[in-house]
Structure 1
Amino acid sequence: MGQKVHPLGLRLGITQKHRSVWFSKFDNYPRLILEDKNIRSYIFKKYSKAHIIDVLIKRYRTTQNIETKEPIDLVEVSINTALPSKILNRKNTKESLTELKSILENICYKERLNKNLPKVEIILNVFKVEDIYSEASVLADYLIQQLEERVPFRSALKKTLNRTRFTKLKGIKIQISGRLNGAEIARTEWVRKGRVPLQTLRADINYSYKTAKTIYGILGIKVWLFKGEKT
């Protein structure tokens, strides 16, 4: 039986970069990984309609607060999104950034409470992604929206493929698993357009896995995009 490998993890260091960039002592790794997970979970859950593509986290060396002289850990959080207006308030961008920054700092503070660890200071960046239909997570979100509105899955697949007509993608593959159109027996259906060479390590593959919650149950959605080969 063929074993499945995550297409992004397989290409780390070749065409993909790490989403978390930091180095620490061995004893601190579990705590910092949990902090990263909690930060990402909050952002993806809070701004589920913002079509967030990824959240990059960088940690810097422990420094001192200029005013209080207390040690602090600097953490840079960069959010790449298709709709930054869903995160930032157009009338008061600074206030919405400050509010999100304080919430993320409190999330980290809970993990460090009673452990004599330095406080965290968040540096927050929000970037807009221009070519949104060249991102697998955006296409997966669009397909989820169609399926949850009870659009037949074949029509939803065609509409999703049509969204990529004017992009520079070399290939796309979409797979849906579950009780499709309310069928009693779950099955898997997929559609492909162009080339998607998952065995080629130098292939620039963009991948996303999400779930759609329908009245018949949960549908698993996988999207692979092939953007070309990197030399």
Structure 2
Amino acid sequence: MGQKVHPIGFRIGVIRDWQSKWYSDKRSTYTELVHEDVKIRRRIEGMRDAGISGVEIDRNANQISVTIRTSRPGIVIGRQGKNVEDLRKELEKLTSKKVRVNIVEINVPELDAKLVARSVADQLERRVAHRRAMKQTAQRTMQRGAKGIRIMVGGRLGGSEMSRKDKEMQGQVPLHTLRADIDYGTAEARTTFGQIGVKCWIYKGEILPERASAAASAEATAEGPAPAIAPESVRGPEREGPAPSAEALAEATGQPRRRAVAPAAQPGGESLGTGARTETEGGVLTEAEAQSGSSVQLSDEREGSPGGAADAAAHEDRAIEKVEAVADESGSEAGQAAGDAVSVETQTSDVAGESTSPEAEALVEEATEAGTSPAGALPPDADAPPSDEARPNIKEDEA
């Protein structure tokens, strides 16, 4: 047999609150207060035409606050508040305490499970077919924004001899999901064949527990939206106004400002071969010196610096020596390449039995003087294999 759990009681303390809000630490007093609540609810729910959905009771000292949720507040209040005043006096006489009555109107009765069940029961009392009554009611509820509804009726449906059950379901009704906002209500239809019970479940969507949602909203309000920039520890303190210039940064940090300078050219149209240079306020850096992290400061023009004219001259001498050393290294490399080319040419000419051509010698001399190794330094036939006439000489030498 299936074990049924009341959907509202299953969610009390999670997404729903109690309908009676009071506390009693004495057993005798607790029993009396529970019976008072039952009498109050029976008296109020006895007004069937008022569309009563629920009654909430709150006790404070010797005063009882009763909140009535209804879809027809005009019937409960009456003309000039006569009905609600009579109800209040009757409840005070019933409980012997001061009673305050509050009326709350239900704006969308199609989404209240108890009112929907009451509507189906009223149609069954008017002898409307139960299938038609359930289907039309479920369609109206879904049109009002519900995500699911389930209606079940049981009894002598249609005047049959045997009682039976029938149900209508649209959408989804997840009864095992605690965060699902499911409303549940029952009603009874009194017909000539007997009583027909009506049950209704309405699924309105998922909601978070009050504690989690309140904590999340409070945290979001306190923290605000997440910043889209790096924290101050990474990017440093924010500065107002335009960005500082390179000169201002150089003065603030005490480091010379650097900028890229094109390599110097020789009179013959060729560069020194030392690559690009970096010029600073204090000196000139070659590519090799910039990569190695060393710098040469030719002059120190900053005010208040400890260096004087002697230091500037010393720095200048050192810079000139380094530049000459770099030029000598590049020239020696070019000369070595030219020497290798001459030796290769000499060996080839000895093997072939031929002398070096005057054009090749002129090219080698120009390359040696310029400090470079042009592509045309070697004769075109230097790498070519020896001729047939030279082959006997090679064999003799090998022998």
| TM-score class, shorter | 0.7 to 0.9
Question: Where do residues 21-32 of structure 1 align in structure 2 (5 Å cutoff)?
Answer: 21-26=21-26, 27-32=28-33
SS at match of 1:40: helix
Q: Distance in 1 between matches of 2:179 and 2:74?
A: 35
Letter in 2 for 1:132: P
Tell me if the contact between 1:55 and 1:77 (Cα under 8 Å) persists in the aligned partners: yes
- 2:183 is matched with 206
Q: Does residue 1:121 correspond to 2:98, yes or no?
A: yes
Question: Where do residues 129-144 of structure 1 align in structure 2 (5 Å cutoff)?
Answer: 129-144=106-121
Tell me if the contact between 2:76 and 2:83 (Cα under 8 Å) persists in the aligned partners: yes
Q: What do residues 47-83 of structure 1 show as CA deviations (whole Å, max 9, x unaligned)?
A: 111111100000012xxxxxxxxxxx11000001000
Deviation of 1:162 after TM superposition, in Å, equals 2.6
Question: Where do residues 3-82 of structure 1 align in structure 2 (5 Å cutoff)?
Answer: 3-26=3-26, 27-45=28-46, 47-61=47-61, 73-82=62-71
- 1:104 is matched with 91
Deviation of 1:185 after TM superposition, in Å, equals 1.0
Which structure 2 residue ranges, 5 or more long, are not aligned?
209-399
Q: What do residues 26-54 of structure 1 show as CA deviations (whole Å, max 9, x unaligned)?
A: 23100000000000000011x11111110
Q: Distance in 1 between matches of 2:86 and 2:197?
A: 34
Q: Distance in 2 between matches of 1:206 and 1:172?
A: 10
SS at match of 2:77: coil
User: Is the helix fraction higher in 1 or 2?
Assistant: 2
Q: What do residues 124-154 of structure 1 show as CA deviations (whole Å, max 9, x unaligned)?
A: 1011110111001111111011100011111
- 2:80 is matched with 92
Letter in 2 for 1:99: D
Q: Does residue 1:185 correspond to 2:189, yes or no?
A: no
Q: Distance in 2 between matches of 1:15 and 1:220?
A: 27
Deviation of 1:167 after TM superposition, in Å, equals 1.4
Deviation of 1:96 after TM superposition, in Å, equals 2.9
Tell me if the contact between 2:50 and 2:72 (Cα under 8 Å) persists in the aligned partners: yes
1:220 to 193, 197, 201: 197
Q: Distance in 2 between matches of 1:4 and 1:166?
A: 28
Deviation of 1:163 after TM superposition, in Å, equals 2.1
User: Matched residues, percent identical?
Assistant: 37
SS at match of 1:168: coil
The number of residue pairs the alignment matches comes to 207
Deviation of 1:159 after TM superposition, in Å, equals 1.9
- 1:166 is matched with 143
Q: Distance in 1 between matches of 2:159 and 2:99?
A: 45
SS at match of 2:143: coil
Looking at both structures, which has the greater relative contact order when contacts are Cα pairs under 8 Å and sequence separation is at least 6? 1
Q: Distance in 2 between matches of 1:97 and 1:160?
A: 31
Which entry has the higher C-alpha Rg, 1 or 2?
2
Q: Distance in 2 between matches of 1:124 and 1:20?
A: 14
Q: Distance in 2 between matches of 1:17 and 1:53?
A: 16
Q: What do residues 198-229 of structure 1 show as CA deviations (whole Å, max 9, x unaligned)?
A: 11111111000111111111111100000111
Tell me if the contact between 2:152 and 2:165 (Cα under 8 Å) persists in the aligned partners: yes
Letter in 2 for 1:182: G
Q: Distance in 1 between matches of 2:174 and 2:142?
A: 20
User: Is the strand fraction higher in 1 or 2?
Assistant: 1
Which structure 1 residue ranges, 5 or more long, are not aligned?
62-72, 110-119
Tell me if the contact between 1:51 and 1:137 (Cα under 8 Å) persists in the aligned partners: no
TM-score (normalizing by structure 2): 0.51
Tell me if the contact between 2:150 and 2:167 (Cα under 8 Å) persists in the aligned partners: yes
Q: Distance in 2 between matches of 1:186 and 1:193?
A: 24
